[in-house]
Amino acid sequence: MRWIFTARMLKFANMQVTGASIPIEERYEKLSAAEWDGYGDKILELKPKKIVDIACGLGRVSAYIADQFKRADIPEPRFTMCDSDNSPAARPEYGFKTSQFYNSFVVMFEFLRKNGISNYEYVDVERPQDYELLDGRGDVIISMLGLGFHVPLADCIDDLYRMAREDTTIILGIPSIEDMPDWEEEQIREDLFSAWEVVDIKPEIRTHQTRIAIIGGKI
């Protein structure tokens, strides 16, 4: 994929995807491709019509998916972009302590336009209850470096459960680094997602500080 960045996108992109020793285009590509190795087969098989991208940042993940779908001749899904750029510090437990400088919807709109996505809506989750606006919206819910990363899985599991329909697949890029909770597979299967039918965790995608968890439909 050929990524397009303007100067004002760089500030956010550089913060959201760390590892500044290599250019952001290369970082975006390597990270996106590594994640895709973990979930690409599944999402191509599902051919979702509606994808909810939580903690979407500028929209890197959705832009990558749209590009891959185009290559595979699969109709572009409708994306729901979910993030916030104006959250009070009163929600540290929800990961937003720093979002005022971490994301910008205006810049996200520009990023999506320049990187080929027009079929989307967005939800600003400034308040915890705003998450209810996502209920039932996705055939796939995806969150890379977001839920399970900025937000501990235990804190967002109820939201995920409510948001997902019986047949929704959830794909998470969860941390695999020392100073963040490194969820053990058993913990993910038995404690957190015990009410879901399938949990596929890809330990081999331990690259770029994440690994991929794919959670199937509810039991």
Q: Which residue ranges make up the site for ligand SAM (CB under 6 A)?
A: 16-17, 54-57, 60-61, 82-83, 94-96, 99, 102-103, 125, 144-146, 150-151
From residue 138, how far is each of 7, 204, 217 by CA, in Å? 32, 27, 12
The residue with tokens 């959250």 is 87
From residue 184, how far is each of 25, 171, 202 by CA, in Å? 32, 16, 11
The residue whose Cβ lies closest to ligand SAM is 57
Are the C-beta atoms of residues 187 and 157 closer than 8 Å to each other?
A: no
- Burial class for 118, CB neighbours closer than 10 Å (0-12, 13-18, 19+): exposed
Please identify, using beta-carbon distances, which residue of 51 and 145 lies nearer to ligand SAM: 145
The least CB distance from residue 60 to ligand SAM, in Å, is: 4
The least CB distance from residue 55 to ligand SAM, in Å, is: 3
Q: What CA–CA distance (Å, rounded) separates 203 from 82?
A: 27
The least CB distance from residue 112 to ligand SAM, in Å, is: 12
Torsion sign over Cα 25, 28, 31, 36 = negative
Question: Cβ–Cβ contacts within 10 Å for residue 121, how many?
Answer: 12
The least CB distance from residue 167 to ligand SAM, in Å, is: 23
Please identify, using beta-carbon distances, which residue of 3 and 102 lies nearer to ligand SAM: 102
The least CB distance from residue 186 to ligand SAM, in Å, is: 26
Please identify, using beta-carbon distances, which residue of 137 and 150 lies nearer to ligand SAM: 150
Q: What CA–CA distance (Å, rounded) separates 94 from 105?
A: 19
Please identify, using beta-carbon distances, which residue of 52 and 189 lies nearer to ligand SAM: 52
Please identify, using beta-carbon distances, which residue of 44 and 105 lies nearer to ligand SAM: 105
The least CB distance from residue 82 to ligand SAM, in Å, is: 6
The residue with tokens 């047949």 is 167
Please identify, using beta-carbon distances, which residue of 55 and 189 lies nearer to ligand SAM: 55
Q: What is the dihedral angle through the alpha carbons of 67, 125, 210, 190, rounded to the nearest 10 degrees?
A: -120
